[in-house]
Every structure is written in structure tokens, then in C-alpha cells.
């Protein structure tokens, strides 16, 4: 019953999406040639041309949407992930339409194709929002439920149970827990009754009409997990394995398909795939505009540094960035020549090695501005963990747990730790916590927020020296 209803739902979505693609295409034609004040030098093309194009575009779009796995069960999927996949699918479809138009001598308007992407994205987003709201209402009323068993009684099983209870809109009804230890049968775990042991799984699945089984056993219970998989090999219920990662530090964990084999990514950089493209584009545009806009300021500061004390205007120092790769970080020189030989690399408040101008440059973080070039060429990012020198990295990685995880992303001119006042001579362990939080919760909006906070907080931070 579960599989049949899921197939019917997927088929209905397939038909709905076909109608949405056709509607978006014809709406784009109407907007381009009739509704919007855009001139058409070659005249208004006949609608039959766009109807024939629509007949080709609709099946093409459906194939692209299917290739992005948008017709799989998404009961527990996040809306943001679905909308991102939709945007990518429609971008590919629009590109194919443009390519097809090129091969037929450009008979399709490029503006129409662009409008198709916008209107299709709006229609698909609206349809998904309405659908989710409706399904949420239906499931909260006790309908469209999926009957669930959780195999396990430990912390991992408790976590699965808690997530199911906190998301009533998923429509998952837990009938009980199944234990690896017979002594636990009849007891309760967080209000859920333990109704059997591993060997009872076939019977319990049949008696309760179970449609989904979550195997949430601890790693020491691997034999029980193996036995459960054997017993459920011919079950009609959907079996979902929840890996026990309780002993591992997780950073953006996910699952990928490795040639048909599921692989759990325990620690992963957020700068992968589409995210990497978006963040790098943001860095290139932001640093490029920044270099152009503040070039007069850079010139004035360069002259002032040169006049303030003898020595070069710029100072470069080797730092460690993405994946442990070393690069030369650029700064305006704020200390006297030979300062490192006089007192090491750490700076302190009222450091006598600083130049007169250097005190002001460091207090206002103006010495960091040349790092826009590091960002532009790809050594750094506008936002990310601040880079350290190689000798410090070698020392810290042996004494501070998870220190090297901060190198899963590009080093930044500013970061979440810095806007929270952790600059200069502040506890490194605390900075690491903020860096890892940033990596785990990265988004382009988060980057923009940090940049805005930087202007208001970092430049006035008393801990900067």
C-alpha cells in the first residue's frame, strides 16, 4: 500500500509539473510580446511556433527534473534542498532551450527563455509551498501517516524518536521500539514501548502493518544489526539504516552515492558543488569591486606607510589556508623592519615594535585591506576562519582537538569569531568553536551578515593589536 500510494503521488506530481512547465512557457511568451513594454523589432512570432517548442520543452523538462531525483519520496526532505534542486533543473532546461534555439537559427526569443526560467521557478515554488502546507495539515490531523518501527533502544534510537515527534508534519506514526536485549521487552524508552526483539521483526512488521523501519543500533550492536538486515531482506517495508556517529565529530554530515554504494560523509566542507561556485563568485565580485572602490584609500595608506618609517610598504607572511595549502598573505606593514627577530610573531597591546602609523592601522584593521587581492586570486575568502602561520598550525593541531577542521574552507579576511570579539590575544580554543560553528552553518546570507557586523564591530574592537 505504501509503495502504491507513493507511485500514485509521484505520477500526480509528474502531471502537475508538466502543466506548470507548459504554463510557464506560454506565460513567458505572453509577457514578452504582449504584457511587458519590450520592443519586438522582428515582430510578434506566431503562437504556433511556441506551441511546437512547448511540445518539446515539456518532456525535456520532466526528464531533467527526474534526473535531479525530484520525484522520490520527500516526506522528510527540507524545502530549501528541494527548491535548490528545482532551480538547478530549470536552469538546465532553460539552457537546453537556448541551445535548441541556436541550432534552429535563433527563432526563439532569448528574453522569452529568461522569462520562462523566472515564471517557472515562481510557479514551482508556489506549488511546493502549497503542497507542503496542505500535507502538513493533513498529517497533523492523523491522515496520510506512515507506520514506523524503530530498531534500537539506545541514544541513537532516542534521537530518531525525538526527531519524529518534533516533526509531526512528516506523518510518521511510531508503533514501538525493537530491542537487541530481550530483557528490555516491556519497558519504555522516552514514552515509547519496547514491543519485541530482533527475531520478532518479521512478525511485528506484518502485525502492525509497518511501512518504514529505522535501524538505529549502536556500533557495538553490529551483530544485531546484521541479523535485522537478514530478517528484513524480503520485507515489503522500507528499511532505513541510521549510522552510529556518536563517537565521531560531525561537520556537515551527509550521504552520497558512490556508484550505487551509499557513503556517509562524516566531515565535509560546505564549499562543495554549487555552494563552491556561489561563494567563489561572491568573493571575486566582492573583492574586485572592493579593490576598485578603495584604490584611492590604498594609495594614500601606501604613501603614509612609506613616509612613516623606513622599509617596504607591504608585508607578506606565509599562512595556512584551504586543505592545509600554504600561501603568502599580504598586509600593510605596521611594524618596524626586523620586528619578528626582536620578539616573535605574536603581537601584544602597546607592542614597542609597532610604527606610529601601525598602531592606528591595526586598531582600525586597515592593515588587512590588501588581503582583498588574496581573496581575488583565490588564496582567501571574504569570510572564513583567520589563517595562522605554519609553525602555529603544527603546534595547535597536536594540542587542540579538531583544530584542522577549520581548514575545510578558505581562510577569511574576517570571520564569525572576529565579529564576536575574538581577535588578537584571545583564547584559541574559543575561536575554534566559533570557526566550526561558521563552517557547519555556512550560507551566503551568513557571510553577508558577518561582513556587515565586521564594519560595526571589528574595526572598533579593543582586542585588535
Q: H helices within 294-344, ranges in order?
A: 295-308, 339-343
Residue 314 within a domain:
yes
In terms of domains, do 321 and 235 share one?
A: no
Per the structure, the count of domains in the chain is 3
Give CA–CA dist 335/346, Å, rounded: 12
* Statement: residue 455 has pLDDT above 50: yes
Give CA–CA dist 363/334, Å, rounded: 11
Strands 212-215 and 146-151: parallel
Residue 269 within a domain:
no
**Over 178-229, what HEC string results?**
EECCHHHCCCEECCEEEEEEHHHHHHHHHHCCCCEEEECCCHHHHHHHHHHH
Per-residue pLDDT band for 337 (boundaries 50, 70, 90) equals: confident
The domain boundary, picked from 209, 231, 247, lies at: 247
Enclosing H/E stretch for 173? strand 172-179
In terms of domains, do 311 and 424 share one?
A: yes
The domain boundary, picked from 209, 228, 247, lies at: 247
Please answer whether residues 414 and 435 qualify as being in contact, where contact means their C-beta atoms are separated by less than 8 angstroms.
no
**In this predicted model, what pLDDT tens digit does every residue of 249-269 receive, in sequence order?**
666 677 776 666 777 777 776
Give CA–CA dist 190/316, Å, rounded: 58
In terms of domains, do 71 and 184 share one?
A: no
**In this predicted model, what pLDDT tens digit does every residue of 297-323 receive, in sequence order?**
999 999 999 998 888 999 999 999 988
**Taking the alpha carbons of 244, 247, 248, 250 in that order, is the dihedral positive or negative?**
positive
Estimate the share of the chain in helix, then strand, then coil, as percent rounded to the nearest 5.
55, 15, 30
In terms of domains, do 128 and 53 share one?
A: yes
Q: What are phi and psi of 370, to 5 degrees?
A: -60, -15
Residue 202 within a domain:
yes
In terms of domains, do 308 and 377 share one?
A: yes
pTM: 0.60
Residue 258 within a domain:
no
Residue 102 within a domain:
yes
In terms of domains, do 50 and 133 share one?
A: yes
**In this predicted model, what pLDDT tens digit does every residue of 97-112 receive, in sequence order?**
999 888 877 678 999 9
In terms of domains, do 385 and 310 share one?
A: yes
In terms of domains, do 401 and 347 share one?
A: yes
**In this predicted model, what pLDDT tens digit does every residue of 24-33 receive, in sequence order?**
999 999 999 9
Give the contacts of 51 (CB within 8 A, at least 6 positions apart). 26
Give CA–CA dist 306/313, Å, rounded: 6
Nearest to 157 by CA among 111, 201, 194, 207: 194
In terms of domains, do 402 and 340 share one?
A: yes
In terms of domains, do 337 and 382 share one?
A: yes
In terms of domains, do 130 and 155 share one?
A: no
In terms of domains, do 39 and 67 share one?
A: yes
Q: Which structural domain, as residue segments, surrounds residue 69?
A: 2-140
Residue 162 within a domain:
yes
Q: Which long-range contacts (CB under 8 A, 24 or more apart) does 450-453 make?
A: 450/383, 450/414, 450/415, 450/416, 450/419, 451/382, 451/383, 451/414, 453/419
318 DSSP 8-state letter? E
Amino acid at each position: 500500500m505504501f509503495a502504491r500510494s507513493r507511485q500514485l503521488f509521484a505520477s500526480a506530481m509528474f502531471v502537475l509539473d508538466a502543466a506548470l512547465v507548459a504554463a510557464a512557457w506560454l506565460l513567458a511568451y505572453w509577457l514578452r510580446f504582449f504584457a511587458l513594454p519590450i520592443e519586438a523589432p522582428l515582430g510578434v512570432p506566431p503562437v504556433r511556433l511556441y506551441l511546437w517548442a512547448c511540445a518539446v520543452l515539456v518532456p525535456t523538462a520532466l526528464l531533467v527534473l527526474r534526473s535531479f531525483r525530484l520525484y522520490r519520496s520527500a516526506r522528510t526532505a527540507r524545502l530549501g534542498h528541494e527548491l535548490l534542486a528545482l532551480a538547478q533543473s530549470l536552469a538546465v532546461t532553460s539552457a537546453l532551450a537556448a541551445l535548441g534555439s541556436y541550432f534552429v537559427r535563433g527563432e526563439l526569443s532569448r528574453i522569452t527563455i529568461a522569462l520562462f526560467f523566472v515564471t517557472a521557478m515562481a510557479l514551482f515554488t508556489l506549488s511546493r509551498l502549497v503542497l507542503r502546507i496542505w500535507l502538513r495539515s493533513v498529517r497533523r490531523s492523523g491522515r496520510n501517516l506512515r507506520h514506523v518501527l524503530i530498531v534500537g533502544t539506545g541514544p541513537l534510537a532516542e534521537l530518531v524518536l525525538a526527531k519524529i515527534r518534533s516533526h509531526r508534519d512528516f506523518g510518521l506514526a511510531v508503533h514501538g521500539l525493537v530491542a537487541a536485549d530481550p530483557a528490555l521487552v516491556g519497558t519504555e524508552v522516552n514514552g515509547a514501548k519496547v514491543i519485541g526483539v530482533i527475531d520478532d521483526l518479521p512478525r511485528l512488521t506484518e502485525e502492525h502493518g509497518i511501512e518504514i523501519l529505522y535501524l538505529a543500533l549502536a556500533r557495538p550492536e553490529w551483530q544485531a544489526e546484521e541479523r535485522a538486515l537478514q530478517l528484513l531482506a524480503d520485507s515489503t517495508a522500507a528499511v532505513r539504516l541510521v549510522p552510529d556517529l556518536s563517537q565521531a565529530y560531525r561537520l556537515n554530515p551527509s550521504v552520497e552515492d558512490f556508484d550505487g554504494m551509499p557513503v556517509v560523509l562524516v566531515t565535509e566542507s560546505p564549499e562543495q558543488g554549487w555552494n563552491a561556485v556561489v561563494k567563489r563568485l561572491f568573493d571575486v565580485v566582492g573583492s574586485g569591486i572592493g579593490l576598485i572602490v578603495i584604490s584611492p584609500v590604498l594609495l594614500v595608506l601606501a604613501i603614509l606607510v612609506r613616509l612613516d618609517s623606513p622599509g617596504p610598504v607591504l608585508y607578506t607572511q606565509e599562512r595556512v589556508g584551504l586543505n592545509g595549502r600554504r600561501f603568502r598573505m599580504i598586509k600593510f606593514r605596521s611594524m618596524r623592519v626586523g620586528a619578528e627577530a626582536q620578539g616573535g610573531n605574536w603581537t601584544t597591546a602597546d607592542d614597542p615594535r609597532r610604527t606610529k602609523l601601525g598602531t592606528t592601522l591595526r586598531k582600525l584593521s586597515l592593515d588587512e585591506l590588501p588581503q582583498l587581492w588574496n581573496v581575488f586570486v583565490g588564496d582567501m575568502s571574504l569570510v572564513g576562519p583567520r589563517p595562522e602561520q605554519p609553525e602555529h598550525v603544527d603546534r595547535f593541531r597536536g594540542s587542540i582537538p579538531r583544530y584542522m577542521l577549520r581548514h575545510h574552507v578558505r581562510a577569511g579576511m574576517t570571520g564569525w569569531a572576529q565579529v564576536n570579539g575574538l581577535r588578537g590575544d584571545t583564547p584559541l580554543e574559543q575561536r575554534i568553536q566559533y570557526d566550526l560553528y561558521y563552517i557547519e552553518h555556512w550560507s551566503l546570507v551568513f557571510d553577508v551578515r558577518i561582513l556587515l557586523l565586521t564594519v560595526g564591530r571589528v574595526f572598533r574592537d579593543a582586542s585588535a593589536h
